[in-house]
Amino acid sequence: MPNEALIVVDMQNDFCEGGTLAVPGANAIVPLVNRLIGRYDNVILTQDWHPAGHASFASSWKDAEPYGTVQFPYGPQTLWPDHCVQGTVGAAFHPGLDTTKAQMIVRKGFHTGIDSYSAFRENDRMTRTGLDGYLKARGFTRLVFCGLAFDYCVSWSAIDARQAGFNVGVVLDATASIDVDGSRKRKLTELRQAGINLSETP
């Protein structure tokens, strides 16, 4: 459909098995994601792209541990292991991902002091990536999301897309979750409440 785009979120080495922030089951979804890519004419990829020493890295804070929380100017921020550092193998797309059809790659998280889960807005909720403008300029009205991790970057992106006025779907079996303290269940509820269609790979 000419007005529909598939957005593949953060299918990068550091989020897959063996990576510094590996999402359980990430490698297993690569064939499903590739199957979806094959079905869509319009494909967009997102890529976490942090500078070394990013403020969301636990290593940037004295005595901090990964998965702890600190207060940023925009509110509470989870601290993560160093991941997806610009130009590293960990930031590259999974070698099995079919990137050939990608029409655009959206990089996010490159501002040193702001983390970014959503492909539309960074975590301060003010700094925009420009993705919504690109999609609207191209006439897309429906967006379908897959990738990593469901309970963070996928769900935040999907909710922001809905708030931007798009018809939105998420293909659940083509995602995998970190599931920190029940985050997967919470995000499933939020997506349903936002009117986002949840489906499985056709």
d(CA 29, CA 90): 18
User: Is 153 tagged catalytic?
Assistant: yes
- Residue of 108, 115, 146, 187 marked catalytic: 108
Residue 101 bears catalytic tag? no
Separate counts of helices (H) and strands (E) for the chain = 4, 8
CA distance 120 to 133: 10
Which is catalytic among the residues 132, 153, 160, 187? 153
What is residue 173's DSSP assignment? E
Let me know if 10 is a catalytic residue.
yes
| CA distances (Å), origin 54, targets 69, 85, 100, 178 | 15, 9, 30, 20
Q: Given 10, 48, 98, 132, which residue is catalytic?
A: 10
Catalytic residue numbers read: 10, 108, 153
